[in-house]
Chain A
């Protein structure tokens, strides 16, 4: 469908609005424990897709459709959510909520799937508390395809979404938002090891770019619920390519809640409470936590220490007769014990300091106008500022003679020799300031007698500016001596990256007897600006159409309603490149033209020939991911089953891609005559050296294709076992490859010259990977004993990977030292044979892991209203047979035993 037709369709739907008859439902939300009202509880009408917020005294008003029943979902922090069927024409309904407790029979610890058109999963507060997450990454194990992974948060590893393994682009493309405000670290830049984009120099991963939001900085204790979208995102969500993690922060009044979690790698303490201030001032929820995490208990240097605090203020006022809901959310995160040390650092008198702070503030105002054209207007303003600094006083040992050159002009210049060892210092300073403004208008209503609609129009603006100093080091004492280096520029000299977006989305629902149809059609446009005019992305409009639909059939089975839903979705998601990709620093190649090293320092002569390359890529584009998803869901009497098939193709993930360019310089190789004293270049014989300069250029080169099927079965309480069972799993097939030709040059000398050709290959070896797993959650709930325990069994039926042999050993083209590109023909030069890339056939053997199983147990005991003690043990049983890898070596996948406990106190 062309974009024009798409827009016209949207417009037509948005114009066709009719306000049908509506009734106002009123009432009060109260606590079952003491009858006190629950301020700012949320009430959501499912059929109408419309919500309301109770006021300070728990009173609410909600417009519902005349003449039909309606399902509402009521929830508030610390209380068990309720779903209530409101009879038609009902005008008053008081709602009572129970405090969350294991003693309640409907206490659940699994993810919920509430969205009819998609596969979104919501993890509520009781499930979050039960799985005892240290980091948000831990929640992925609840989802189909999730697997037990790293047990600690110090490992800021990549987020894996619907794939075998993980890759940088998919992780970078996972959007994160808190209360509707997007969080990202796209303004960060790294200039380690002398070049932009190299991220591994600090060892512990304390500085991280281009891999997505660092989930360690989001405390799970400040979260009320999390929704994970891995399929087609709403048009409201942007600057993402792999779905989104939507966080709802804790809010409202609640008892004093404290949690202490401890296991060998993580120690965490949290305290939080929601205060009822007054009718005029609303409620304020405050929380703080402290975490110490180590990926390796024997490595004290690698510990990650974090303190975080959050304030969430809510109020509801009436202005000019309109209800206005206000929310201000502030949070602060800081690392501590920033000075890292171990005996190696101390032996060389080094110092290593890694510091992280982030402060964020967002305000949200929702006005319920109730006008003919607009029901609600939401305005969001947000800002967050991070201070991420890495300082290293380093001792450098050069095992060979290393030249030093820091000329900023091309051509020959005299350099000096670095000492064999020296002390130096470098700092990487990032201070991104991210600001966001967003306005949404929403309209709800009915079209005709059977169509419900909700319409969303919105716009947002995001500006991200890094105020930091970037890489700071002594140019005369480089921390990572190399012939390729940068002369770093400040992060504050990099322009701010800014983008705006507009979006429109229509949701329609049609219910006729036993049939229900849901549609969601949205379009998002995104445009970057403030880029250099030659950049492709400057002013380019990126369009993300997103459509989902479902058809549901209801019928009666043994007196209970059974539903069958077929759903289909299609969409495009764009992830914009980061500042690190947009503005890499120039690379200075310092070739040693003359190396006259003598014992007598006064006679030494070093001449280097500097070539300057600019790795900035004006053609860099957004990473575009095409998604299609279809599924079937069934529900009956507490049973739920679903199967989802999906396909994603991401063709242009940005990564640093090695390219080559020809270079030549005069090489002075031997004295032409005997010289006493310090020589000059005229005393040397010379010849022209022709070579190639390697440079890493941000390129839309990563290609990932994901296919798969996810399945889920939920069996409600089986009385003899006192257990409910959740079975989920997935089959994933992932292909990692390169979307652009790959360049390769053999590192060999021929006739005292570097090899004179660079091969250009049509793609690199593809990596094919697939796995199939099933997770069993057996949740045994014994309300009488106030005990709940979970047996988690993960079975990986198979996991296979192999490199594809469908690429030619020979390149399709080659480049010579003049920079000319020729079609590959062996008859041109016998030396071209060296461009053949051949490996042992065992390299292409399939690595196939046999079926494996692991069993985890988790138990929670509630003692009274105030105290709960939990214990978990992972890998209690692990069946992991040995196998032979492609190289005939015996392998086995062992996971370490892991265990820990948690104590929760409420007052």
Chain B
């Protein structure tokens, strides 16, 4: 979704180019949101897109990693294992999306590796622990709120700090069975979120995705199909020791309806997400390398109130993804081209309840659902084209240039009262990189600049004076359709301590500037590849 565009640009943590160090860090990077990392991203290292496609379709992994016929696709995975410690700090001056927070400060430990045993297959795994704070988050208690919007819940206080602890485990297994390749992968993310001052809030969330894939690989061609059910559950609770605190259920948008809860002391909600992903991939490795990926993603969201256990809101989301990647090598030059398109739409439901008598004699009542309103819709589409040229100056050094353009359009609507938010933007990016490996030392440099231009953006709500409406809808509308400029870069050093063991450090800085905000992001990674 468009919401996290800036984050996506910053992510390729993760913004590295054609480098052994960068790719070895990137291939196991833990995603920020609830969507899988790797494919369908606006990544700068598009020369590794095919490798990401293989890793997203686990069935092909064992064959392609170990078959010399696919050497060109194996990427520069010179190391099978990585252990890293990271520190990230993102700070915003000015406006910001209310549920993201003004400032994010996180530390992370990550360990990942893979192992192949001849005749037995390939096993890979990644474990990541992340701990940090999001400051000045407001009007939201959910983890990954973009999946639950607009049906958020919060209290009436202002912005506050949330502490978050995240545990991520990812593992997969791939092997050949006769002429076929089969694979299984599992992804688990657990997030514990807390606010330690009144009203005290906690949210325990887990997201689980189980992938089953099958494919077939020939000398220069491979196909794969993967199905992955997923589910997410968040147990939200909040307790107030003081008078005067109230809780809001947010629903619809437009007037940013919010309903005050009946109880003022405690509040609880369980919200769930159930989904199914289906992906297909085709790879061809010849004079030209081709990779085509299509995917469909269905998600059904539900929220249940914590004391009465009534379903309050629901939504259904459909997402289609396509990516076409082609590359060609001529002497010391390599050219890559990538087209990516994403379309999605969401419909929201609001359940209506009525108190009805259950036992008149004993005076027992309960709430019974009497109707469902389907008033909210959200549609979006993203298109992206990028081209990259790599030139190997020598066997130990290379330079690269990338150019990209993209188009985004999103539209939210509410039937009664009739309201719309319509945003269109154009993006462009230029990036340059340099890589060298001399003796035991490696160096990688990356710089990029980009811009976004919004046009024909519409916000059809008049007379906005309510601060909740301003925070929840008007400011995000402004920021998503803003004109902004991006720039950033990273520098990474690596030193080979011994054969197959490299110690490294990567520093990254990014900046976004617009009329509404300035965002500075800094990141440092210390890692060992072995």
Chain A interface residues toward B at CB < 8 A: 262-264, 296-300, 342-344, 784-785, 787, 840-842, 859, 861, 869, 871, 873, 875-878, 882, 884, 887-892, 894, 896-901
* A262 touching B129 in the complex, CB below 8 Å, given contacts A842-B362, A888-B359: yes
Hey, what's the 0/1 contact readout for B219-257 against A, CB within 8 Å counting as 1?
Answer: 000000000000101110001011000000000000000
Q: Give the chain B neighbours of A890 by CB distance below 8 A.
A: 308-310, 366-367
**Which chain B residues lie closer than 8 Å to A897 at the CB level?**
190, 204-206, 233-235
Distance (whole angstroms) from the CB of B204 to the closest CB of chain A: 4
- In the complex, A861 Cα to B310 Cα: how many Å? 41
CB distance from B497 to the nearest CB of A (A): 18
Q: Are A871 and B202 in contact (CB under 8 A)?
A: no
Determine whether the beta carbon of B167 is less than 8 Å from that of A871: yes
B197-A343 in contact (CB<8A): yes
Q: B418 at interface (Cβ–Cβ under 8 A)?
A: no
Q: Which 7 A/B pairs are nearest by Cβ-Cβ distance?
A: A264-B192, A899-B190, A888-B358, A897-B206, A298-B200, A297-B194, A896-B204
What is the distance, in angstroms, from A22's C-beta to the closest C-beta of chain B?
52
Determine the chain B residues whose CB is within 8 A of the CB of A899 once the complex forms.
167, 188, 190, 206
Question: Count of B residues near A, CB < 8 Å?
Answer: 47
Report Cα–Cα, A424/B258, bound state, in Å. Answer: 44
Q: Could you tell me the distance between the alpha carbons of A900 and B366 in the complex, rounded to whole angstroms? A: 38
Q: Given A887-B364, A888-B359 in contact, is the A264-B270 Cβ separation under 8 Å?
A: no
Cross-chain contact B196 with A299 (CB below 8 angstroms): yes
14 contacts between A and B (CB under 8 A): A264-B192, A264-B204, A296-B200, A298-B201, A342-B197, A785-B115, A785-B117, A859-B171, A871-B167, A896-B235, A898-B190, A899-B206, A901-B127, A901-B167
**For A859, what are the chain B residues with a Cβ–Cβ distance below 8 Å?**
169, 171
6 more A-B residue pairs beyond the given contacts A785-B123, A901-B127, with a C-beta to C-beta distance below 8 A: A298-B239, A344-B242, A840-B362, A842-B364, A873-B206, A888-B358
Residues on B with C-beta less than 8 A from A342 are 196-197
* B324: A residues at CB distance < 8 A: none
Does residue B111 face the partner (Cβ distance < 8 Å to A)? yes
List B residues 16-46 near A (Cβ within 8 Å): none
Residues of B102-137 contacting chain A, CB below 8 A: 111, 115, 117, 120, 123, 125, 127, 129
**Is B195 on the interface with A (CB-CB < 8 A)?**
yes
**Is the beta-carbon distance between B202 and A876 smaller than 8 angstroms?**
no
Shortest Cβ distance from B270 into chain A, in angstroms? 6
> Is B208 part of the contact surface with A, judged by Cβ < 8 Å?
yes
Min distance, Cβ A880 to any Cβ of chain B, angstroms: 10
Shortest Cβ distance from A819 into chain B, in angstroms? 39
How long is the Cα–Cα vector from A172 to B388 in the complex, in angstroms? 72
Partner of A298, one of B194, B231, B359, B366: B194
Contact partners of B206 in chain A: CB under 8 A: 873, 875-876, 897, 899
- For the complex, give the distance between the alpha carbons of A520 and B200 in Å: 56
Nearest-Cβ distance from residue A782 to partner chain B, whole angstroms: 9
Q: With a 10 A CB-CB cut-off, give which of A298, A342, A882, A899 has the most chain B CB atoms.
A: A298
CA distance A871 to B170 in the complex (A): 11
Assess whether B359 is in contact with A343, with CB atoms less than 8 Å apart: no
Cα-based distance from A298 to B201 in the complex (angstroms): 6
Q: B175-208, CB under 8 A of A: which get 1 and which 0? A: 0000000000000101010111110111011101
A-B contact count (CB 8 A): 103
User: Does B127 contact A871, Cβ atoms closer than 8 Å?
Assistant: yes
Contacts of A894 in B (CB 8 A): 235, 270
User: Once the chains bind, are A298 and B196 in contact (CB under 8 Å)?
Assistant: yes
**Once bound together, how far apart are the Cα atoms of A875 and B206, in whole Å?**
9
User: CA separation between A280 and B102, bound complex, in Å?
Assistant: 66
Chain B residues with CB under 8 Å of A884's CB are: 366
Distance of A752 from chain B, by nearest CB (Å): 32
Are the CB atoms of A784 and B129 closer together than 8 Å? no
A-binding residues in B (CB < 8 A): 111, 115, 117, 120, 123, 125, 127, 129, 163, 165, 167, 169, 171, 188, 190, 192, 194-198, 200-202, 204-206, 208, 231, 233-235, 239, 241-242, 270, 304, 308-310, 358-359, 362, 364-367
Q: Which residue in chain A gives the minimum CB-CB distance to B364?
A: A888
Q: Is the CB of A344 within 8 A of B241?
A: yes
CB–CB B111/A869 < 8 A: yes
Q: Do A873 and B359 have beta carbons less than 8 Å apart?
A: no
Decide: B366 and A888 in contact? CB cutoff 8 A. Answer: yes
> Is the beta-carbon distance between A300 and B235 smaller than 8 angstroms?
no
Complex-state Cα separation, A899 to B127, whole angstroms: 13
**Can you name the residue of chain A whose Cβ is closest to the Cβ of B167?**
A899
Query: A873 with B188: in contact, given A343-B197, A888-B364, A894-B235 (CB under 8 Å)?
Result: yes
Task: Give the residue among B192, B197, B205, B235 with the most A Cβ atoms within 10 A.
Answer: B192
Contacts of B367 in A (CB 8 A): 890
| A889 CB contact (under 8 Å) in B120, B194, B235, B366 | B366
Query: With a CB–CB cut-off of 8 A, which chain B residues contact A297?
Result: 163, 192, 194, 202
Task: Find out whether the CB atom of A873 lies under 8 angstroms from the CB atom of B196.
Answer: no
What are the residues of chain B within 8 A of A889 when measuring CB–CB?
308, 364, 366
> Considering only CB atoms, which chain A residue lies closest to B270 in the complex?
A894
Cα–Cα, bound, A212→B188 (Å): 38
Closest CB in chain A relative to B360 CB, distance in Å: 11
* A298-B123 in contact given A889-B366, A892-B309, A901-B167 (Cβ < 8 Å): no
Taking the closest CB of chain A, its distance from the CB of B118, in whole angstroms, is 12
Are the C-beta atoms of B167 and A784 separated by less than 8 Å? no
Do residues A264 and B129 form an inter-chain contact, with CB atoms below 8 A?
A: no
Question: In the complex, A842 Cα to B361 Cα: how many Å?
Answer: 10
CA distance A890 to B366 in the complex (A): 8
Residues of B within 8 A of A787 (CB): 123
A26 → chain B, closest Cβ, in Å? 44
B127 touching A900, Cβ below 8 Å: no
Q: Which residues of B contact A877 (CB under 8 A)?
A: 231
Set of chain A residues within 8 Å of B194, measured between Cβ atoms? 297-298
On chain A, the residues within 8 Å of B192 by CB distance are: 264, 297
A891 touches B120 (CB 8 A): no
Which residues of A sit under 8 angstroms from B188, Cβ to Cβ?
871, 873, 876, 899
List the A side residues contacting B366 at CB < 8 Å: 884, 888-890
Nearest-neighbor residue (CB-CB) of B193 within chain A: A297
Whether B208 contacts A876 by the Cβ 8 Å rule is yes
B205 to A300, Cβ gap below 8 A?
no
Q: Which residues of A contact B205 (CB under 8 A)?
A: 897
CB distance from A324 to the nearest CB of B (A): 49
Closest residue of chain A to B236 (Cβ to Cβ) is A896
Task: Judge whether B165 and A264 touch: CB under 8 Å.
Answer: yes
Cα of A432 to Cα of B304 in the assembled complex, Å: 49
* Interfacial chain A residues near B165, Cβ < 8 Å: 264
> What is the chain B residue whose CB lies nearest that of A262?
B129
In the complex, what residue of chain B is closest to A900 when comparing beta carbons?
B167
Given the interface pairs A869-B111, A891-B309, A897-B190, the reply to whether A861 lies near B125 with Cβ below 8 Å is yes
Chain B residues near A264: list those with CB within 8 A: 165, 190, 192, 204
Complex Cα spacing A899 to B115, Å: 25
**Nearest CB in chain A: distance from B161 CB, A:** 12
Query: Is A343 in contact with B129, judged by CB distance below 8 angstroms?
Result: no
Note all chain B residues with C-beta closer than 8 A to A887.
Answer: 364
- Contacting residues, chain B, for A300 (C-beta < 8 A): 196
- Would you call A784 and B309 a contact (CB within 8 A)? no
Q: Which of these, B231, B234, B241, B309, contacts A882 with CB under 8 Å?
A: B309
A716 to B188, CA, bound (A): 29
Q: Which residues of B contact A892 (CB under 8 A)?
A: 304, 309
Q: Inside 8 A of A882's CB, which chain B residues have their CB?
A: 309
Task: Give CA–CA (A712, B153) in the complex, Å.
Answer: 45
* A49 CB to nearest B CB, Å: 46
Please give me the residue from chain B that is nearest to A898 by CB atom: B204
B241 CB contacts on chain A under 8 angstroms: 343-344
Chain A residue, CB-CB nearest to B202:
A298
Residue contact B195 to A298, C-beta cutoff 8 Å: yes
Q: Which residues of chain B come closer than 8 Å to A784, judged between CB atoms? A: 117, 120
> For the complex, what is the distance from the CA of A878 to the CA of B304, rounded to whole Å?
15
Question: What is the distance, in angstroms, from A505's C-beta to the closest C-beta of chain B?
Answer: 49
Nearest CB on B from A787, distance (A): 8
A287–chain B nearest beta-carbon distance, Å: 25
A407 to B123: give the CA distance in the assembly, Å: 77
